[in-house]
Structure 1
Amino acid sequence: MAKGTTILYLFAVAVLGQALTPSTFLTTVDKERLRAVFEAAQPYTDAANAHYSILGLKLLGATIAKEQDVCKSVTSTLKSDNVESWFHASKAAAALSSCKLPVGNAEKLLNEAVSAGGSVAAIYYAFFALKNLGLPVDNAKITAALSEALKSDDSPLSHSYAFHVATEIGGAELGKYFDLIEDIIAQADEVDGVYLQFEGGLSVTAAILESAYKLAGKHGKAPTISEDKVLKFANYLLSRKHVQRLKSAYELLAAAAILSNNKFHIPLCVTLSSSIAVSQSKPTVQVRVSDMLGGSLGKTTVTADSAKNLGDQSVVVNKKQFKDTSDESLFEMDFMANKPSSGFYKVTVSVTPAKADARLIGTSGAAVTVKVTTQVSLDNVEIGVADKDQASAPKPVRVQHPQKVGQVLEADFHQKVIMKFSLTDKTGGAMFRAHQTFVKLTNLESKQEIIFVAESDSSNNYKFELNVGGSAKDFGFKTGKYSLELVIGDAVIENPIAWTVADVALTFQDGPAATEKPDQYAKKPEIKHMFREPEKRPSQSVSMAFTVLVLVPIAILFLCWMKIGVNIANFPFSISAIGFHVCLAAVFSLYYCYWTHLDMFQTLRYLGFLGVPTFIFGNRMLSSIAAKRKGEKS
């Protein structure tokens, strides 16, 4: 058995990710979930919800109960002044029998939406609303407006609207828009080499696929989409099959329906129908071959081209045919008849229809994962105590699983506990190497657990050694009786083992008192931000000297004013001038307060309040002075 089975399993998933053939489909459970999404929209309060719900139920083949009541509900949701509402309501009404919407001013409103300046979406809504209501449609006007609108918005979603309109109009428009399909598909983004989607996600991707295949069907030519791209689109759609939004659920179902029933491309879905695990008691592998909706593809032959062990790369199956079952889509094979060893296998499958069908794609290279499980036995189990320096040979005690050693083993800090064992594959009889082999020691008094790993050698024999003195810190220097338990597990083991082998009395040398580990999930103390401690202020004499030096220029200013005089004749005694100087004085006073006792945040808050009137008064004062000077010059 190769080491690291779980790692190999992850590798298997990565390898299978490169197989483009879808490995899932919309199962009965998936359809029931989608049906519940559609039914949850009732009673309808919005025309769009009615549209997606009713058409979604129709795609699932469900019967719409009380259609007349549903028709009244759809009519009540209609907004007569909204083009999009007319589109959704008319779509819903058309899906019901004998449901007629009151036309009213619809013809005028919808024809006005088809204008040279209208958006592609508005033209699409108006066109189909007119068609659904049975009102006359000017195809030439629609075509001209659509071409003009695409010049300003050539996004993939806008082209999907145009494809739908061109499909309905037909004629020369078919070829014109059919040639654009290849360019639009080229804009899709590839993810992980397996998925293909458009920016905008499921809505845009589903809309483009549905419209492109409808347009191609009307034109009678296969769309220019390579088979691998179709498979990647199918993989993306199926990866979104758990959607819960009403609109997304309908779009997913509509796109899956068109990829399951069209004239050109139908992706196969090869799914593992049985459990991933096979064993001697359950040797059968079943695969289901269907379209995306789970529909049968008719009589087919399914062959396992190969089954490769992902560990040692051995091939145990080569060109072996699956057997038919009563279900036309289900095929089975006795995998254990090939005598595979335990491990993970990649089974490559090819499908050949009884009647040639060029539409089917993904008929080869499909892959499913199979896990061959086995039971193991514990053999040659020995446990004993020996001196650390091995001056004396250990005295092992042999024990059979699931029995427990009858005596308590005693070991002090000069000794070590040794346990040896091996694992045997019961099916093939070969030595087995498990991915998880642990030895757990539990203090019988405190219930504290310490877990160690048992390592295997090159012959797959396991050995565990516990140096009592060297491990004292791990045990918190806590002397006492411990339960020694062997835990063995692996992804391919059917009978994982948790076996209490013996009780061991461990004696440790004196050490620091054992303390309980703090609870990492306990409530932590609140973290509060603390400002940095202010630096030590200078002495009072230094501060006073500095203050005097700062005030010297002000004293010089007043002395100069006394000597040369002060001219205040030009001071404008107005509200703005007085207010500005008062506010300016308040700002300087605030600076003084900041110097003495305010902190930065308090100062900024007060400055914010003072700044607004200071700016307003100052602006008005300067404006009046400038206006006065301008008048004097003139």
Structure 2
Amino acid sequence: MTRGTTLLVLFALTVVGQALTPTTVLTTVDQARLKAVFENARPFTDLASAHYSILGLKLLGAQIPNTHMVKIEGECCQYERVEDNCNYVKSAVDYKSPESLYYASAATKALGNCQLSNSNAQNTLQAAIKDGVDVPTLFFVVSALTNLGLPVNSNEVVNALTEALKTDDSILSGSMALHIAAQLSKETDVKVIFESIEDLVAQADEVGEKYLQFEGDLGLTSFFVVGAYRLAGQQNKAPLIMEDQAVKFANYLLSRKHVQSPKNAYDVAAGLSTLGNNKYHIPVCITRESSMTVSSAQSKVQVRVSNVMSGALGKLTVKADSAERKEDGAVVLSNSALTAVAKDNTLYELDFLKTKAGRGFYTIEFSVAADKPDSRLIGLSGAQVEVKVVTTVNVEEVELSLEDKDQSTPPRVTKVQYPQKTGSNLAGDHHQNLVMKFLLKDKADNSAMEAHQAFVRLTNKRTKQEVIFVAEADDDHVYKFELDIGASAKEHFNSLSGLYAMDLVVGDALIQNPFAWNVADLQLKFPEDSATSEEKPNLYQPREEIKHMFREPEVRPPATVSTAFTGLVLLPVLILLGLWIKLGVNIANFPLSLSAIGFHIGLGSILVLYYLFFVQLNMFDTLKYLAILGTLTFLAGNRLLGSIANKRKQLLRSRLR
């Protein structure tokens, strides 16, 4: 029995440790940004944008302006005109479109003092409920009738909706069905539609075990959440949504809170407003309000406990169940109560350093309990907040020494007190080693510590050349830096003798006072073979500009060679002409037409162009002229070949006759 109880307790602790809570919250800053998105939608360009802007402002509790400015382009200049929101909605509505009536009726209802023509709207809306009507049209019709305060025939709507869902069972249609059913009379049997909530949730995509969404569509996810809880409230039944699923829906909507369009902003506001105030599931958000850094000057960790809309949840008891150091898993506190510091019971604080927590990164896990039991609150445990405890570091036992390599003389040790500098310059040459020892101590408990970054920087005072070395700590956390002056002369210092400033640079994410301390000035002298190193160019000086040199063109061959080559190229032409004369070529059939003459002149011109390219023209000019000559030659040749083909056809016909 005891063993079984132990296993049960361990299982319960595991489940609590894995409890899912919202990852963030819609802060007042986020809400102000969304309000700006709605306000910037004016002047309205379409009825849908006006609908989302007006309803979004109402959801966020902002005042809805009665008018907005419209820029008018005149003949002479641009000017502004005041336009009434109600008049815009009335002028933009299409009384023949159920969708347009839906947007207009929702906007006028939110404005409060604006009325549409109910007679025109009622005729269109009631006529739309007929056999074969689809789910979206039915949603627009029922919503518009409800917004206008007109009667809805619930039985007729349910019958039409049942038939429409048989042909369209998409997630969007299912979500619209939830909204439609929520607007019908309570006596209407919508059990099948209510039970479809579970089936729709099963089709949602889970991402990283934290988010639940429908096809990555913000509008569809928000629309479903609002419809599910709206119908649940109308039926007075808890929706078929698990608590962790509700939290995952909230996480997804919160992850999209940086949207910029009026529609997306409305989707975020509508979904989170529903999850922030309903009868069944209200996720509890625990977010860090104070800085992540905890120090002796600011030892308290403040967290804000609210709903997803940053709203108060009543009087609560908030506890830090544990605080675990990431480095070694050490638990520094458990079951510590936080103190309320705000009248609205949303802000709580914990004096974290009372636990004597040392420097490091910590994960604090919180749990919440309502003083008055509220079954709606979910995600009451497992919320985690990360903080880091920083400390002030002291530098102690700092020693500088120059030691002879052959140890012929004892080292000259100079002790330095932080943040002072040695009174006189130290001088060292290539026969010596420079040694620096120091100890870093945590000021809070005077314990030795190591820093993530500890460097020794040597800077040439004349050239400003910097050389940086890493200082490493031993097992006792004592830092030691040793420099072989002779061996490092060429590699690190370019054999440049002179006066160097020696700095100790210490930094760490957990150190509150990182510093660069000028410890001493060193006169370094490098080996004799680098005595002329002062004359060597400084590696850090700008170099001379490199000017690109194009390769010079190759020298042309002598004129005799090119002339002989040209003669050899033309020799076949001369031979051809001689053979024609000897054989007696018959040119009587040469057609004396414009196309024939143009074609042959074009061919000759192209050959002449090639010659000019060889002796004078460049490639670009040659291509330009070749395009012109080639086009004319092609047209003339095409026409010449066509005329020759026609003559052959006529000759063939005459012979056949």
TM-score, normalised with respect to structure 2: 0.74
Aligned to 1:440: 457
Aligned to 1:353: 370
For residues 51 and 365 of structure 1, the distance between their equivalents in structure 2, rounded to whole angstroms, comes to: 39
Amino acid across the alignment from 2:523: A
Decide whether aligned partners of structure 1 residues 411 and 204 sit closer, same or farther in structure 2, where only a CA change above 3 A counts.
Answer: farther
Decide whether aligned partners of structure 1 residues 455 and 39 sit closer, same or farther in structure 2, where only a CA change above 3 A counts.
Answer: same
Amino acid across the alignment from 1:316: V
Aligned to 1:305: 321
Say yes or no: does 1:232 pair with 2:248.
yes
Say yes or no: does 1:205 pair with 2:228.
no
Equivalences for 1:58-69 in 2 at 5 Å? 58-66=58-66, 69=84
RMSD: 5.2
Q: After TM superposition, give the deviation of residue 269 of structure 1 in Å.
A: 0.7
For residues 370 and 633 of structure 2, the distance between their equivalents in structure 1, rounded to whole angstroms, comes to: 87
Contact 1:45/1:77, CA 8 A, preserved across alignment: no
SS at match of 1:504: strand
What do residues 412-432 of structure 1 show as CA deviations (whole Å, max 9, x unaligned)? 333332211001112222211
Q: Is the deviation greater in 110-119 or in 347-356?
A: 110-119
Decide whether aligned partners of structure 1 residues 257 and 591 sit closer, same or farther in structure 2, where only a CA change above 3 A counts.
Answer: farther
Contact 2:51/2:106, CA 8 A, preserved across alignment: yes
For residues 78 and 107 of structure 1, the distance between their equivalents in structure 2, rounded to whole angstroms, comes to: 14
Amino acid across the alignment from 1:342: R
SS at match of 1:378: strand
Q: After TM superposition, give the deviation of residue 332 of structure 1 in Å.
A: 2.8
Contact 2:21/2:283, CA 8 A, preserved across alignment: yes
Aligned to 1:261: 277
Decide whether aligned partners of structure 1 residues 399 and 579 sit closer, same or farther in structure 2, where only a CA change above 3 A counts.
Answer: farther
What do residues 543-566 of structure 1 show as CA deviations (whole Å, max 9, x unaligned)? 77996899899999999x999999
Q: Is the deviation greater in 82-91 or in 294-303?
A: 82-91
Aligned to 1:4: none
Q: Tell which has more relative contact order, 1 or 2 (C-alpha 8 A, sep 6+).
A: 1
Q: After TM superposition, give the deviation of residue 148 of structure 1 in Å.
A: 5.0
Q: Which runs of 5+ in 2 are unaligned?
A: 1-16, 68-82
SS at match of 1:474: helix
Q: Is the deviation greater in 302-311 or in 509-518?
A: 509-518
Aligned to 2:112: 97
For residues 133 and 234 of structure 1, the distance between their equivalents in structure 2, rounded to whole angstroms, comes to: 31
Aligned to 1:405: 422
Q: After TM superposition, give the deviation of residue 60 of structure 1 in Å.
A: 2.0
Contact 1:231/1:267, CA 8 A, preserved across alignment: yes
Q: 1:499 aligns with which of 494, 514, 517?
A: 517
Give me the identity figure in percent: 39
SS at match of 1:365: strand
Q: 2:299 aligns with which of 261, 275, 283?
A: 283
What do residues 265-284 of structure 1 show as CA deviations (whole Å, max 9, x unaligned)? 22111112333222344332
Q: How many residues align?
A: 608
Amino acid across the alignment from 1:307: A
Q: Which runs of 5+ in 1 are unaligned?
A: 1-16
What do residues 275-324 of structure 1 show as CA deviations (whole Å, max 9, x unaligned)? 32223443322322211011222233322222111111111112333344
Q: 1:335 aligns with which of 352, 355, 359?
A: 352
Q: After TM superposition, give the deviation of residue 150 of structure 1 in Å.
A: 8.5
Q: After TM superposition, give the deviation of residue 217 of structure 1 in Å.
A: 3.5
For residues 604 and 216 of structure 1, the distance between their equivalents in structure 2, rounded to whole angstroms, comes to: 79
For residues 566 and 122 of structure 1, the distance between their equivalents in structure 2, rounded to whole angstroms, comes to: 86
For residues 335 and 288 of structure 1, the distance between their equivalents in structure 2, rounded to whole angstroms, comes to: 16
Contact 2:203/2:214, CA 8 A, preserved across alignment: no
For residues 148 and 557 of structure 1, the distance between their equivalents in structure 2, rounded to whole angstroms, comes to: 93
SS at match of 1:256: helix
Contact 1:166/1:174, CA 8 A, preserved across alignment: no
SS at match of 1:95: helix
Contact 1:178/1:215, CA 8 A, preserved across alignment: no
Contact 1:374/1:427, CA 8 A, preserved across alignment: yes
Aligned to 1:365: 382
Contact 2:226/2:274, CA 8 A, preserved across alignment: yes
Q: 1:245 aligns with which of 238, 261, 268?
A: 261
Aligned to 2:80: none
For residues 245 and 629 of structure 2, the distance between their equivalents in structure 1, rounded to whole angstroms, comes to: 64
Equivalences for 1:129-140 in 2 at 5 Å? 129-133=144-148, 140=156
Contact 1:163/1:211, CA 8 A, preserved across alignment: yes
What do residues 237-277 of structure 1 show as CA deviations (whole Å, max 9, x unaligned)? 22333334333222211111111122332211111233322
Decide whether aligned partners of structure 1 residues 515 and 86 sit closer, same or farther in structure 2, where only a CA change above 3 A counts.
Answer: farther
Decide whether aligned partners of structure 1 residues 359 and 525 sit closer, same or farther in structure 2, where only a CA change above 3 A counts.
Answer: farther
Equivalences for 1:460-539 in 2 at 5 Å? 460-469=477-486, 470-508=488-526, 509-510=530-531, 511=533, 513-517=536-540
Contact 1:189/1:199, CA 8 A, preserved across alignment: no
For residues 142 and 580 of structure 1, the distance between their equivalents in structure 2, rounded to whole angstroms, comes to: 85
Q: Is the deviation greater in 133-142 or in 172-181?
A: 133-142
Aligned to 1:453: 470
Contact 1:127/1:165, CA 8 A, preserved across alignment: yes
Q: After TM superposition, give the deviation of residue 398 of structure 1 in Å.
A: 0.6
Contact 1:417/1:467, CA 8 A, preserved across alignment: yes
For residues 409 and 183 of structure 2, the distance between their equivalents in structure 1, rounded to whole angstroms, comes to: 95
Aligned to 2:440: 423
What do residues 99-123 of structure 1 show as CA deviations (whole Å, max 9, x unaligned)? 0135696567767888989886566
Q: 1:374 aligns with which of 364, 388, 391?
A: 391
For residues 46 and 276 of structure 1, the distance between their equivalents in structure 2, rounded to whole angstroms, comes to: 45
For residues 350 and 127 of structure 1, the distance between their equivalents in structure 2, rounded to whole angstroms, comes to: 43
Contact 1:43/1:73, CA 8 A, preserved across alignment: no
For residues 633 and 613 of structure 2, the distance between their equivalents in structure 1, rounded to whole angstroms, comes to: 23
Contact 1:18/1:193, CA 8 A, preserved across alignment: no
For residues 635 and 376 of structure 2, the distance between their equivalents in structure 1, rounded to whole angstroms, comes to: 77
For residues 47 and 159 of structure 1, the distance between their equivalents in structure 2, rounded to whole angstroms, comes to: 25
Aligned to 2:47: 47
Aligned to 2:182: 167
For residues 407 and 634 of structure 2, the distance between their equivalents in structure 1, rounded to whole angstroms, comes to: 91
Q: Is the deviation greater in 424-433 or in 587-596?
A: 587-596
Q: After TM superposition, give the deviation of residue 156 of structure 1 in Å.
A: 4.1
Decide whether aligned partners of structure 1 residues 554 and 488 sit closer, same or farther in structure 2, where only a CA change above 3 A counts.
Answer: farther
What do residues 555-607 of structure 1 show as CA deviations (whole Å, max 9, x unaligned)? 99999x999999999x9x9x9x9899799979987996999677599859976
Aligned to 1:24: 24
For residues 562 and 153 of structure 2, the distance between their equivalents in structure 1, rounded to whole angstroms, comes to: 95
